[in-house]
Every structure is written in structure tokens, then in C-alpha cells.
Structure 1
């Protein structure tokens, strides 16, 4: 018991956020701690060289080599991507025994925050338009030879009329079955953004092929739909989404196609979605 308490205390002490006003690596002044995940911390900073607001991602000190490996992997991936809906890599800085990734700062809220904290709900057409926007950065990634593997509501930012896809920490080369970096980042707890059991969804999501990202889009759409779902009666027997959600037949068929890997590329999926939008969202 005492040993476990000591380990927790030491981990929490090591991972205590950097103080506001701290100047990191002589260049980045920390303005605000944004949040902490399983392997990293995020800060809003001012680049003292340019005066621009930036996002600084720091690996959690308690995770050591594993956090550094994931951060370096994300940095290398972003270096190869160039799309207006994917935050740009600006710098990768080594300071003492730590490494940080500096990225373009996108002002906005994640879909997770909008749904969980703000109570936002979506119509089917609104959700489909978000799916359509996300197909653009996914198509870019697939054309560059990568698959995201983590298309979920925490990794989608809404800023004005634009939707951004963030966090490529689990992305890998298409067909790279050996890539398992960060597989346990959620520690076995079902994360937000899935409509069925996390175990089965996680297995399908992690397959290194473009259809995995489309599968993720299917769950993302359903999660947005369930944000506003109210059962007809308390204690009603649970049914499948096909019965619970009042969706147009064209929309339902499209979502089933996402979940069943009907399309092998984002481009093919996009063509079908354009047809569905014309039929269901005039």
C-alpha cells in the first residue's frame, strides 16, 4: 500500500504542469495549461521570436522514453503532411532532457467538449456535413500513404466554419501491421466517441488501412446523433442504432456502409456522401 502510494505521488509530482510565465527553451512563454493525456501535456504558449500564439506538446516525464517516442513519431508524421485542416508542425525542440513538439494553435472547441460540456446536439444533416469536412484531411493523409487510426470526437476541433483533424500520434503507414506505438494510450477505459463496445471498435479502428478511418467516421456520426437522443420511455429495452435513431433511409445506408467498410478510399466515400447529401439534405 505504501509503495503504491509513493509511486502515485512521485508520478504526480513529475507530471505537475509547468507554471504560467515559464519560458521554455528560451523561446516559448507558457500562457496556459490546456490539458493532459495519457502520454503528454498541452500548453498555449507565445513564441517570443515571432510573437505568435502556438501549441506546445510536452511528453509526460513519468512516461520517459515511451512519451518521447510517441512525440517524435507525431512530429515526423506532421512534417510529411500539409493540409489546412491539420495543424502544422512548427518546431521540435530539445531542452535539457525533454523534447517538445510545437504546432499551429487552432482556436476552437473539440466535438467532445461541445457535446459533453456544452450540451450541443446535431441534426443528421449537420453531422453529415462535419463528416464531409473530415473526409478532406483524411483523403490527404491516405494519399500521402498514412492512416489516422483515431478518428474520434476528442480529435476533431471546430473553429468557426472549419473542422480540423488533430492528434496523429497513432497514425501509421498504410499496411504497416508492425506499428503498435501508443496502442494502450487509453489504458483499457472506453474513451468517448464510440457507439459500441470499445474492445471491438478499437480492434477495427487500429487496422492500418483507409477503411479504418471511415469506420471511425461512422462511429463519430452516431455519437453526434446520440447526443440528442431521448428514449421513448424510461426502461425501454435497448435496441440497435438502426431502430433507435430516426434517420432517412439514404443516411442509414451510408452509415452502415462506413461501419461495414463498403468503401476502400476516402475519395470513393466522398462521392457517395455527395449523393446522399443531395437526396437527404436539400
Structure 2
């Protein structure tokens, strides 16, 4: 009984500590909070105005209830972003400390993510269009891998579309290639061996969280399938089948996507993957099937 009461009290205290910053709040005498954009397990994202320039930025604050773990994850993300400079990755702008709260300030991408486009706007993709999305994302991924990092979270919520240009966002799970996270962070992110022991969802998570470039290729493969299933209607009364059977794809497209999903696709670098996709898209154009 006392344990349940203590647990409930902790939930109330944590919710109070994590109460979002209100519009109009001034952070560090420079950034005015405009609105909450979203809240994750360890952070809160806000649109804010930089009072020194008048420009809009994104402020990512650690969740106070997560203590030092939330701050450590935010600092890792900041240090990684600060070393990057690519037109399809948000720019690092600043890192600030306010008492026990810290915040990463980055470029604000004014648009919507692919998840919103699919589920809220009903956007669908042909196979050619979906492959073109992958080609666009391979540019920042190739750059990221050349810099020695892996994203580890290539999913439709983390791809922003702004005026026809795609951005790869949210580097909160990114890490150096080959890094083994400290046990404390593994446990916090649900990446310890026990938390990903069995089940198809756990197997997908394990593949995507691997600190190797192939995990991002795997993420691209799943992203392609999400785009294709956005326009798929399952025949009523028919049993579910594999994506290879359900989706009407040309054999060369199916082969490329299968390679993305393999544990050992055979590419030495992401640039080699990108070159193969270029060849595939060119062959489809020459065949006169860009709208398939």
C-alpha cells in the first residue's frame, strides 16, 4: 500500500517538474518560447524566437525528472551536432545552462515530417517516388557516416519536408560508429540485452540501434516499406503475407530493398549504396517507368 502511494506521489512530482515551458517564457535572456513542439522520453522541443536576431530556432530541453541521464543524452547530442555541417541536417546554434536545466539550440525546420504527411494528409508514394526519398536521405547519411557517426533512428517521424527539401532530424540516438554505450545509457534507452531479448519488434529495434552504418540502411529499408504501405489496401478476408508478396514491385526494386534489410548487404560504404540506387533510378527512367 505504501509502495503504491509513494509511486503515485513520484508520478505527480515528475509531472510537475516536467510541466512544459509556457509561451512567452524567456530562456537565458535570449530565447523566447513560442510553443511546445513535442515531448519525448528524455527531452522537450520548443519553437522559440532568438531575441538577438529575431529568427526562429528550436530549443531542446532536458526533461528535469530524468536527472543526470537526460542531461548526459542532451550533451552527447549537442557535441555530435556541433561537429556537423550538412544542408540536410539542422545546424547546431548554441548550448545553454539554466540552473539545473540545460538546452540545445538548433536550426528550426519549418515543415512537416513524413509521418504527418502519410497519416494526416493522406500522401501516398509510387515505388519510384519512395526510392527518390531514399536517394535524398542517403546524402546526409553518407556525410554522417564519413564523419564517423551513425544515426540509429532513421524513421518517418525523423524526416522533415520543407518546401520540397528533405531533412534528417533528431540525432538524440546518434553515436560514433562502433561505440558501445555505457551500461547506464543502454538501460535508459532500452538497449540492454535483456530489454531486446525476443519478438519481432525487439529484433527490429536491435537492428536499428546497432552502432554500424548498416543500421541506417536497415532504417531506410523500413522507411521505404512505410511509404509504400501508405497507399496499400489489404484485400478483405485475405491472410497477411510478406511485403515481397503484398507489394507490387519490379524485381530490381525488390532486390535493392531486400539488400537494405539484410544484416550484411554487401556494400562497403553508404556511398556505394547510394551509387547502386542511382543506377537503379536511372534504369527505371530509361525504361520509361518513373511513375510506377
Kept in 1, the 8 Å contact 2:217–2:260? The answer is yes
Q: Hey, what does 1:66 align to over in structure 2?
A: 69
DSSP-derived class of the 2:58 partner: strand
Of 268, 272, 277 in structure 2, the residue corresponding to residue 268 of structure 1 is: 272
How do residues 167-246 of structure 1 correspond to structure 2 at under 5 angstroms? 167-178=170-181, 181=185, 184-185=188-189, 197-232=200-235, 234-246=236-248
How do residues 72-111 of structure 1 correspond to structure 2 at under 5 angstroms? 72-111=75-114
Kept in 2, the 8 Å contact 1:128–1:221? The answer is yes
Distance in structure 1 (CA, Å) of the matches to 2:161 and 2:186: 25
Q: Hey, what does 2:31 align to over in structure 1?
A: 28
- Give the CA RMSD over aligned residues: 1.8
5+ residue gaps, structure 1, are: 189-195
Q: Hey, what does 2:195 align to over in structure 1?
A: none
What is the TM-score of this pair, normalised by structure 1? 0.92
* Higher CA-based Rg: 2
Kept in 2, the 8 Å contact 1:172–1:179? The answer is no
DSSP-derived class of the 1:78 partner: helix
- Residue-pair matches, total: 274
5+ residue gaps, structure 2, are: 193-198
Q: C-alpha displacement at 1:182, in angstroms?
A: 6.1
Kept in 2, the 8 Å contact 1:39–1:185? The answer is no
Q: C-alpha displacement at 1:226, in angstroms?
A: 1.0
Of 7, 10, 16 in structure 2, the residue corresponding to residue 7 of structure 1 is: 10
Q: Which moves more between the two structures, 117-126 or 43-52?
A: 117-126
